Structure 1
Amino acid sequence: MIRFAPSMALLVAIMFSTANLKAAAIDDSSAITLPSSSVQKWMLPNGLTIIVQEDRSAPVASVQAWCATGSIDEDAHLGAGLSHILEHMLFKGTKTRSTNAIAQKIQDVGGYINAYTSFDRTVFWIDVPKDGVATALDVLTDAMMNSTLPPEEYRKEQEVIRREFAMGMDDPDRMAGLLLFATAYQRHPYRFPVIGEVEIYNQLTQEQVMQYYKTRYVPNNLTFIVAGDIDAEKVRQQLTELFKPYPERSLKPVFIPAEPPQLGRREVRQEFPTELTHLDLAWHIPEITNPDVPALDLLSTILGEGRSSRLYRRVREEAGLVFRISAFSYTPGDPGLFGIDATLDSKKREAAAQLVLRIVDEAKQAGVTAEELTKAKKISLSHYLGALTTMRGQASDIGSNWFLTRN
């Protein structure tokens, strides 16, 4: 069952932010100072963006290519999973390298290659020892600009992705998440899963994917991010040379419809062959650049992260209504969702939902304690700093910040 109470969302954000200001005095002596950024950024004449973070703490680097296209940018083929199948295909062969040659080239320098697709981006990365950075830049450039999407490889990947669909349909957590987004979003492309809808996906042709590739994978829609034991100027020089043959291209803007205001609660129930019930409750919240978002992020931690969180203690430990419960604040480039999800016995669903809503309302009315706020800040900071302990984590953080805020 999925419930929404959109009229509460803005109140939660406003009341929580105000409560924080009253709840906790700032202790400057305990403030943590983050290291200053040494990121360098360039934009080449053809529009390619290069961002480099030098970090000599270990003799390794992460080389990443970010394309500003994802599942919400598929235009006439929205819901087909174009971006996702293209992610699978870009290392399957270029004009000068076969799929085996690409894999061998990276293995020879001790590298590891992978990729992912999201709503608004497709990211390809290679983690390598520092002596393999030049090779990684060469291979990524070749894949971004010269992939051939061989038809025989395309047919193989079609079947791989069909198996992904099948596995997802057997996963109650995934199905609940997809149903949540399909219910919360009626017009915005977030309503479609990144992988696509299987019926639309099955209609895709290799020619359509190739056209999408040629249209979206252009220098002025790409960002190369490198973090690690590297020389930033050498990275800039190599990418400048590698991209000389590729001029800036016309890039058609994609219209992304805004999600209209939700006027009433939406409730959806879907049967699934499992012994337990998966319950999701969610509220619409602003995009990541909104000043209320940090308060919402901390609220999700206070409500639903860890055994000392309000929801875990009261709904699971004290009331015994759920087996698992957590909260999240999802804030992508466009307005996102604040949500609570739980796994429970179907007979306890109504009681659990009522208690959860009561706990949320208490936070809206009374705010949070200074102790809760301090702990939530420490948890959030710990997660953030933990992600920066690897070169891949640093590059990913830089990329996300740049893509979402241009900062």
Structure 2
Amino acid sequence: MNKYRIIHQTESRLISELDNRLIIIAERMPAAPVASAQIWVKTGSVFEQEFSGSGISHFLEHLLCGGTTSTRSEAESNKILGKIGAQKNAATGLDTVRYYINTVSSNINTAVELLSDWIINASIPEDEFLREKEVIISEFSMGEGEPGRILWKLTHQALYSSHPARHPTIGYIDEFLKITRDDILSFYKRMYLPNNMVFVVSGDIDPEKITSLIADLWNQIPAGELPEIVFPKNSPEVSSLPIEGKADIGRPQIRLAWPGTSLGAKHDYALDLLGVILGQGDYSRLNRKLRDSERIVSSIRAYNLSFPWGEGFFGIDAEPAPHPEGWESSIKVAKSAILREIKLILKEGLNDEELERAKRMVLSTAFSSNQKVQESASNLASNTIDSSDPDYVFNYASQIQALEEKDLLNAAKKFLDSDNPLEIRLVPLADDEEIEPLERVSTEDIKDNSDHRKIILDNIATIKTLKNAEVKERGRGKIGDFEYHSLSNKIKVILQQSDVVPAASIQIYVKGGIFADPQGQEGIGSALASMLKRGTQNYTAEEFAKTLEGMGAALSAANGYNTFYITGQALSEDFPKLIEMTAEAYLRPTFPEEEWETMKARIEAALARETDSWYGEL
């Protein structure tokens, strides 16, 4: 009798199922002697059912990751982790909880056994339950005034008035405090079933041996009946009035949000490209015009969020620049300019150059996100859960390349042709004000919605789709040995060939850093780093961004503690041009006065943001 059934097998990857419908993905990445073992469970905050709003998924994650089991104590697990030099962690999202152990490949069997023990045999003793409860209470306190969290919570409460996505992942403190150990055990037994999980191991491994080991550990764990999840199909009624929150910040922040589409649905990919064109990268429309030319925002970003369980939103986040008449005026000016640029796209369309730039950036990001074993394992798991396609990120990048201007304009007309998007404001507290914890939306305010979406958690549908899918051998390449060279000017050069992905990177390190900043001019090294791309002997700042992002490449500089460094990445075919651009930035910057005035305002805004969060003050 076979331990497992093969769904797909290539030279570098084995995808299998067990009788209990656990999906196992083992991928060989021999580039370095490391590996990552991960278990993903379909049980984030939107799947908490009668516990919705309590944060029970997040609480359980704290208790399982490294906790006591029926076979070993928490201390014994920690001792094993230390012995194998492993790193472990876990995280809870809206629709998944994930656990991982990263270690050297020679110890991956131990990591797989340990991770399996935590998930299969958790005992959740009373003392650990009480201890982690106190830890999470502290997390509530630390996150209460975090601007990003407040903005996210306000957005979801506004967009998902009748959907569990309106609740924060951590829950509400009053409901969290009601969770009992019996609640935790009940939820654990209900949701932590093999037919609701994906087990991925990626790294310098033997896929067949790892799959066999996992099968030995999990084959005797029975599948179970998972709850039926039914969500209302979300049809948000966008408020005509701004939704306002307050935080201990120096400058206001705004988010404009348009109700969007679900993952992979019609217009989803077009909205992704519109986000890149509008507000990702220095050469994007909003950064080039509103931030750099008109200087009415100090930062701005556009993006599209979509989910496998329902509709997301198209968002534009901005920090308006100060206005003589106060922050009300600064918000009004910024919002008006953003809407103006969207109307311009609807009226005049897009040019081929910016469309190709956006496509190139998406392609480069797809490759760069799969270079490390932990990233690769995470992508395999999330892609399989979200779309039943382990290679979704690569197939997505390919489909993006086929989009035309008309596709993006159709998406813009359907979703962005509105002068009244949802407006969420985060404004500074008055001197005598304190932050008030966000409260649950009253159930009395939720309208009944007879139009529902049924969510099937069981892996059975995913397995069926995987069996019918066409899987291509992508190869996982190898990394060569280091080569050491010394140039005539005594610059030391280290080269290493890699064919893991069709991309290349460059790094330059110079002794210096903040320890070398002159007294009284602390921060000058960081200011210099920010200006290297803002004008050179052969490129204006706009031309530099246009050339770089046209390749989908990235180049950045920073000032560390004892080094000044530049890092860059591009697709392999563009690497010679990236080297040229890196040399241009490092050897021939001109520091134009006008560009410095623009950058100075951005640096001042960034410095002001440093104290917006408690950890920024450390």
TM bucket normalised to smaller: 0.7 to 0.9
State the shift of 1:207 in Å: 1.5
CA distance in 2, matches of 1:307, 1:260: 34
Q: Does 1:293 align with 2:268?
A: yes
8 Å CA contact 2:300–2:319 kept in 1: the answer is yes
* Correspondence for 2:290: 315
Change in 2 beyond 3 A, CA 1:37/1:254: farther
Which letter maps to 1:62? Answer: S
Deviations 1:9-45 (A, max 9, x none): xxxxxxxxxxxxxxxxxxxxxxxxxxx9943211100
CA distance in 2, matches of 1:328, 1:303: 8
TM-score under structure 2 length normalisation: 0.58
CA distance in 2, matches of 1:60, 1:236: 17
Q: SS of 2:297's equivalent?
A: coil
Which letter maps to 2:51? Answer: H
Q: SS of 2:247's equivalent?
A: coil
Q: Does 1:233 align with 2:233?
A: no
CA distance in 2, matches of 1:319, 1:264: 29
Deviations 1:268-298 (A, max 9, x none): 1223332211101011111112142121111
Match of 1:186 among 137, 141, 161: 161
8 Å CA contact 2:43–2:57 kept in 1: the answer is yes
- Identify which range, 181-190 or 366-375, moves more after superposition: 366-375
Q: Does 1:339 align with 2:328?
A: no
CA distance in 2, matches of 1:115, 1:238: 22
Q: Does 1:279 align with 2:251?
A: no
Q: SS of 1:204's equivalent?
A: coil
* Correspondence for 2:339: 357
CA distance in 1, matches of 2:379, 2:386: 11
What is the total number of aligned residue pairs between the two structures?
Answer: 372
8 Å CA contact 1:304–1:326 kept in 2: the answer is yes
Q: Does 1:393 align with 2:375?
A: yes
Match of 1:80 among 54, 74, 78: 54
Q: SS of 1:214's equivalent?
A: helix
CA distance in 1, matches of 2:106, 2:133: 35
Change in 2 beyond 3 A, CA 1:366/1:202: farther
Which letter maps to 1:79? Answer: G
1:7-406 residue pairs with structure 2 within 5 A? Answer: 38-90=12-64, 91-262=66-237, 265=240, 267-333=242-308, 334-344=310-320, 345=322, 346=327, 347-406=329-388
State the shift of 1:306 in Å: 2.0
Which letter maps to 2:85? Answer: G
8 Å CA contact 2:13–2:27 kept in 1: the answer is yes
Change in 2 beyond 3 A, CA 1:367/1:166: farther
More helix by share: 1
CA distance in 2, matches of 1:38, 1:304: 37
CA distance in 2, matches of 1:308, 1:194: 35
State the shift of 1:264 in Å: 5.9
What percent identity do the matched residue pairs reach? 33
CA distance in 2, matches of 1:146, 1:277: 48
Which letter maps to 1:73? Answer: F
CA distance in 2, matches of 1:279, 1:290: 27
State the shift of 1:261 in Å: 4.8
* Correspondence for 1:22: none
Change in 2 beyond 3 A, CA 1:239/1:119: same
CA distance in 2, matches of 1:84, 1:290: 29
State the shift of 1:318 in Å: 2.1
Q: SS of 1:256's equivalent?
A: strand
CA distance in 1, matches of 2:140, 2:349: 42
Which letter maps to 1:286? Answer: T
State the shift of 1:129 in Å: 0.9
> Structure 1: any 5+ residue segments left out of the alignment?
1-35
8 Å CA contact 1:183–1:266 kept in 2: the answer is no
Change in 2 beyond 3 A, CA 1:81/1:128: same
8 Å CA contact 1:173–1:278 kept in 2: the answer is no
Q: SS of 1:337's equivalent?
A: strand
Deviations 1:124-169 (A, max 9, x none): 0111111111111111111111111121111111121122222222
8 Å CA contact 1:72–1:256 kept in 2: the answer is no
Q: SS of 1:323's equivalent?
A: strand
Q: SS of 1:342's equivalent?
A: strand
State the shift of 1:116 in Å: 0.8
8 Å CA contact 2:159–2:238 kept in 1: the answer is no
TM-score under structure 1 length normalisation: 0.88
Q: SS of 1:331's equivalent?
A: strand
8 Å CA contact 2:160–2:236 kept in 1: the answer is no
Change in 2 beyond 3 A, CA 1:77/1:136: same
CA distance in 1, matches of 2:239, 2:252: 24
Which letter maps to 2:319? Answer: T
**Rg larger in structure:** 2
8 Å CA contact 2:21–2:223 kept in 1: the answer is yes
CA distance in 2, matches of 1:243, 1:118: 25
CA distance in 2, matches of 1:38, 1:373: 34
Larger RCO, structures 1/2 (Cα 8 Å, 6+ apart): 1
- Identify which range, 236-245 or 42-51, moves more after superposition: 236-245
8 Å CA contact 2:145–2:247 kept in 1: the answer is no
Q: SS of 2:99's equivalent?
A: strand
